[in-house]
Structure 1
């Protein structure tokens, strides 16, 4: 029965396994029975605050049980949950609140100054310091609301790497089908201890780890922040079995002095996404005997598009896998590539919030979603992500895909992080400029020689800029627009 949409999942799980631990935060466990009760009380309070079907409720703050409760309470009412990036400024948050029309904003103490900086009419504000009191006034029984699979459950605002953020809408059905796809690709168990250390306002953490863990009755171990030592400690202390991370997180763990001796024996699988994964990084994890699975997706596809299952991972380093079970993907133009990835399936967004122009531009005439990402496909149907379409540049009439150059640069032992962009050149039109974070002593000439033996000359950057760090979005993607602006 679909009457409750995803909002009813914790209550349904509580009927089956009420005493299992659903959430673990700062060593405090919450059982599924407790979680279901708290969600019902919050739904009651939101109803009393005037939230009804189709209204928007926003949450601003790091990972916390209140985020999870707000997600499920909001969607159980047929209302729409709007998770906010807590790293944004007040004007950016204000734009999203205005664009979404949120009527309630629940916010964490760390974001109080941003909330104080909001101008003009705002949503009703609920500070996390007052949350328990506010929740305590709710009724034990949540209102019963009929929710359709095609009703919007979430609005997630894109990272804005290409301009002003747009609100990608995801329906209850989108999230359900993505959960099916994930569970087909990963053997998630009811005994799972899932480390949710990536921010939950990012679709991969929310839909690729939290939702599958809840539906299977596992434990979601939430952390408000991430650091290398803390991650190792949590894995060892709580016997973590599964986690998602972005490339930079996994690279930092592998570069730690603790890496060779860390107890990772409980870990059954690791999933990486959010950006292209250097093959050498995959091999580093495989040498530790760990199952390292890659996937490709984006916010608008809830997010899974392709996935590399565990049994395929050993011999397919660098592959983003094949299309997930309940979706199709192809290249435009057709063939082995490079071409833009197009996606069609029940996990694909119906469009952007109150933005029909952007919605129309995102789909082909026959209904395929344009991802803006470039890939190649081998004879076995495996996708390899080449780059963002917008990041490609043309040097002397030849297409250069920066991710290909970055992948080779990562093989140099003195390169910790790198990003390549195209910059204007009087002779060639554009040439490559590599921004490099060093982990050892290396100069531009040495890196140039290193690349010349591995890449065509026109692909080798002409300039090398050595920096302390790269600007990134919350999902781990490099903000190349900032690099272009400063170059």
Structure 2
């Protein structure tokens, strides 16, 4: 199969004048994008002397050059190492050294962090995005790329348990993910998608930037997420698909412009990354806006499940069914399929599943067995085959021999209008082994006490599931994609001597 840079170059031949990328300051037709990809590839090859397999670290907020660089890297058979700009320099040191990246690309907004990183890492080369492209007048030497075997992206997981792991994704992985998304929600050349997730995250490129470019559509790239700007850009550029995590959709919903915006061109608001509260979904549906849910993982490029047009209203709360080129199984601890309706671990098989964990053969063998990727996610499937998230296997609390799924408690907590966000973790207990404790943030101008919260839970949950302690915080800690960071909450318990 050809490198995915072929998508851009072929589109430059088929539809040269169609708009491919729109940034805050510039836009590119497919012809112009093709030229920029070739320029960047030539710069990396001849100015920095990079060869197939070399790792390229990218430390940047969202910008069109980020997308250009991904395709240039694909063209040369290089390996992208996108870095989370919210991490500290010390945290980034591990990922850079682990990947073996010898060059880093950065920008003005990350220059301070880059300087801090340089206290720990000696790069052979660095490139500053904010300088004009250097035109290298030398012929580009095409690399021989095995798109199914050669690494394309090393995308580091969050490392909630131990050291971060680098999921190695190939160009074929990204191709099949693009097809899976196209077939699920009918992405075509008529679509304009907006990237509200960070491009250093697999969701930023896989949902739905790459699928849209393969289809010949247009990708709008704000430099960062701001709800006001997002609403204005959706309207200005006639965006048809808006992808985000629940916190992004909630911020848009709560902005004053939401009520007056008609979003007349939007045919999908789509959510993933974390369970979406029913109340949030209904806020969009009540406005007549299609709102779907899906689920994916870094290791699956990322899409696994999506709700389609026929089902998004009648299956609120479900993440849908597996996408076209993806098989799943839901199994017990012995690897046997569980009956529908019962909770088990999700296994995934398909051409979008990662090649390996970088430099971790034992972890790879543990995760991928007999062709199946063991996700660690707990799911249940209804009689029609629609899947619902039950939580993470590692998050499951075992109290007095009983399994407690934090997500079930979190959903009950968020039924209270006073509660904005909720997260449940297990606290060590001498008698029961573990007991559930909850962290919540409150909506403005609505008061509620810890006892009132516990009393409400007692009307909805079995006694052993009721949180033994409620901690009210101004905001719950989050990672780069807006997910609540339970590792940080566990650390808070540790600092307070409660675990």
Query: TM-score, length-normalised on structure 2?
Result: 0.93
- SS at 1:129's partner residue? coil
- SS at 2:474's partner residue? coil
Q: After the TM superposition, which residues 266-277 of structure 1 pair with which residues of structure 2 at under 5 Å, given as runs?
A: 266-277=265-276
Q: Which of these residues, 474, 478, 493, is aligned with residue 468 of structure 1? A: 474
Structure 1 stretch displaced more, 367-376 or 257-266: 257-266
Shift of 1:293: 1.3
The answer to whether residue 396 in structure 2 is matched with residue 392 in structure 1 is yes
Native 8 Å contact 1:344 1:367 kept in 2: yes
Q: Which of these residues, 361, 364, 367, is aligned with residue 356 of structure 1? A: 361
Distance 1:410 1:235 in 2: 29
Aligned to 1:127: 128
- SS at 1:331's partner residue? strand
The answer to whether residue 458 in structure 2 is matched with residue 452 in structure 1 is yes
The answer to whether residue 350 in structure 2 is matched with residue 345 in structure 1 is yes
Q: After the TM superposition, which residues 202-217 of structure 1 pair with which residues of structure 2 at under 5 Å, given as runs?
A: 202-217=201-216
Distance 1:377 1:250 in 2: 26
Distance 1:37 1:457 in 2: 64
Shift of 1:27: 4.5
Equivalent pairs counted in the alignment come to 481
Taking structure 1 as reference, are residues 463 and 167 closer, same or farther at Cα in structure 2, changes over 3 Å only? same
Taking structure 1 as reference, are residues 129 and 426 closer, same or farther at Cα in structure 2, changes over 3 Å only? same
Q: Which of these residues, 403, 407, 424, is aligned with residue 403 of structure 1? A: 407
Taking structure 1 as reference, are residues 180 and 120 closer, same or farther at Cα in structure 2, changes over 3 Å only? closer
- SS at 2:127's partner residue? strand
Native 8 Å contact 1:326 1:346 kept in 2: yes
Deviations 1:175-227 (A, max 9, x none): 11111110110121212221111101111120121101111121111011112
Taking structure 1 as reference, are residues 315 and 144 closer, same or farther at Cα in structure 2, changes over 3 Å only? same
Distance 2:111 2:127 in 1: 11
Distance 1:396 1:407 in 2: 22
Structure 1 stretch displaced more, 368-377 or 83-92: 83-92
Structure 1 stretch displaced more, 434-443 or 253-262: 253-262
Q: Which of these residues, 403, 411, 429, is aligned with residue 433 of structure 2? A: 429
Q: Which runs of 5+ in 1 are unaligned?
A: none
Deviations 1:339-363 (A, max 9, x none): 1111111110111111112111112
Aligned to 1:16: 14
- SS at 1:149's partner residue? coil
Shift of 1:138: 5.1
Aligned to 1:301: 300
The answer to whether residue 368 in structure 2 is matched with residue 370 in structure 1 is no
Shift of 1:381: 1.2
The answer to whether residue 28 in structure 2 is matched with residue 30 in structure 1 is yes
Distance 2:407 2:40 in 1: 45
**Considering only aligned residues, what root-mean-square deviation do their CA atoms show, in Å?**
1.5
Distance 1:453 1:185 in 2: 39
- SS at 1:253's partner residue? helix
The answer to whether residue 65 in structure 2 is matched with residue 66 in structure 1 is yes
Distance 2:137 2:113 in 1: 28
Deviations 1:384-429 (A, max 9, x none): 1111111110223211111111122222211111111111234433
Native 8 Å contact 1:435 1:467 kept in 2: yes
- SS at 1:260's partner residue? helix
Shift of 1:452: 2.4
Aligned to 1:220: 219
Query: TM-score, length-normalised on structure 1?
Result: 0.95
Shift of 1:146: 2.6
Native 8 Å contact 1:102 1:123 kept in 2: no
Deviations 1:428-457 (A, max 9, x none): 332221111100211222222322222222
Shift of 1:120: 4.1
Taking structure 1 as reference, are residues 400 and 97 closer, same or farther at Cα in structure 2, changes over 3 Å only? same
Distance 2:188 2:133 in 1: 35
Aligned to 2:496: none
